Structure 1
Amino acid sequence: MNSQPTQLPAFNAAQAIRLAQETLDIEAAAVLGLKQNLGPAFASAVQMMLLVRGRVVVMGMGKSGHIGRKITATLASTGTPAMFVHPAEASHGDLGMIKSVDLVLAISNSGESEELTAILPMLKRMGAPLIAMTAKSDSTLARHADVFLDCGVEKEACPLNLAPTASTTAQLALGDALAVALLDARGFKAEDFARSHPGGALGRKLLTHVSDVMRSGDDVPKVGPQASFSELMREMSVKGLGATAIVDEHLTVLGIFTDGDLRRLVEKGIDLRTTTAQQVMHPKPSTIARDALAVEAAELMEHNCITSVLVLDAAGHLCGALNSNDLMRAKVI
């Protein structure tokens, strides 16, 4: 038995780059070619998906199935409840996941995938509307559909014109077009997107409030206006914020003293041993409401070139504090 490794042909870098460029040209042309096919059928599909009382059930086999899973994720994250059901598994029990209030988006380049066509009669019997995304208007899938979306391409990017390449790119782009049209029709906003992406950067920026990241209670550095300078510095040192609020007996903020203020006083040569907090504080400091977004606090700090800010409750009393390090730990900045 010959155990010698198969000899690979010599690698041609120029050929690889040329084929890559041709692939991108073919797939770009495939996507642009979809534009001429968009019309009343596309608008009908969007309206049907907008009005469905249940979920959009996406189905597809092979490469179309992979594209279908991505389209499902895009729809779900942009305000359209969606789930993916594998056509082969549907014939063995998963069809029970689909209800008459749902809508089926079936994807197949040929429109003749056996696993899909086998369950079409059952889908029609249960009354679930069917949108077909296929390249063949006369295919079994297209003929059974309530709406036919043409995703046909002139040729695949594969040099053999066999491997699904341009066709799957077209399916993906058409799915994105549906999702974008739907989110606009729903009035879907950045805040809605953030609610479905709480772990992402956008979610943290749009869902994290000042109250979620601020220091509160005994962790908030504060002294009265008559506190000695040593008391002031001790409070700053213990609480580690780099600043101390000066408040009256009702926790109304009178001013703030920061590390920067200390450096400036030292540079002026002022004898600090006999001063009080009120004498060295910076009056009317920047403050922010506890229910404001944490990203607003970050913008406030950046705009005023400061590294900490005091937090006020609805009555205008001191209830917290935070600095840029707090925001960085929360990954807001």
Structure 2
Amino acid sequence: MKNTKINHVLLLLPLFLLGLILAGCSSSSTPSVPEKSNTTSQQSSSNDNGKATYPNKWTDGVPAKYKGYYGRMTNAYGEKTLAPMYFLDKSVSFGVGDATVLDSVQYKQVSDTDYVLKGIDNHYDSSRPTFYVKISTKVKNGVSYIGTYIMSDQAQAQGMSDNSASSFDKTKVLKDDGTYTIDWYKHYDSKAALLSAQKSPSSDTSSDTKSSSNKGSDDLKYTITSKDGKTYKSKYTIDQMRQKLDLPYSKTNDGNFDTVKNGYDGQIVENPTVHSGSSDETHAEGSKQLSGNYAVFYNKTYDGGNAMDHTLVNLETGAIEKDQA
């Protein structure tokens, strides 16, 4: 009887061991499945320093979420005007009167709210140069705004309007710091809505057209009295403008004529129209409408003529505009 039980156990043992082997093979044949990544596609990524980075390639058109029609309140020829901006895939235009027009537009994102646009200037120059524009974006009370950086003639001369890498780099680092200011354009639901607002601009009171550098009267620490006896608030004194904006006064004589550089005689102009080089302007009347109060510095040679070149400085921001008489 005892031998029978031993024989029975010995008979079952091979079957038990076979079962263990088969179970082990089944387990090892099942591949391990890694955890699925929970990361999602984002507009920006981070580098090793934790700073946001953005694709270093040009994308055709304009940022899709901001595409559309915009406008900003300004003064033109003594009247309130709603200046339009068309922010579209194939063309971008902005400004009143002598507008900036860019074709074949591309863009790069350079921060969470800022972009650099690149396009062909098909308006001023028959050689069709490449032109760069930096824009900022914001949402206020549920409405989108686009801000364009206003660049002086000097900035453009430094390479903002050629097709070099340095032009992009210079445009990318522009800041609303008084040297450059931003004109904010409010989004409209359609072209028809923008055109309707243009017909009665006084009814549109929600356009945010102030530069972000204008934080109210607290920034305007000084007062300047014009030669007409009118007093204006100003970010800088006249002497500070000369120092900060490289406008030193000088007077020279070549034996025949006196020449004055950066003269100032107390002239302050409000919402002036200046010469921009457009073909549709005259000697007496410019074509580029500015908004705000400006101190006027003049360059003149006293040779019997009346032509003067002017440098205009915005009292609220310190931004420079040129006027070629």
Greater CA radius of gyration, 1 or 2? 2
Q: TM-score, normalised by structure 2?
A: 0.17
Is the helix fraction higher in 1 or 2?
Answer: 1
* TM-score, normalised with respect to structure 1: 0.17
Larger strand proportion of the pair: 2
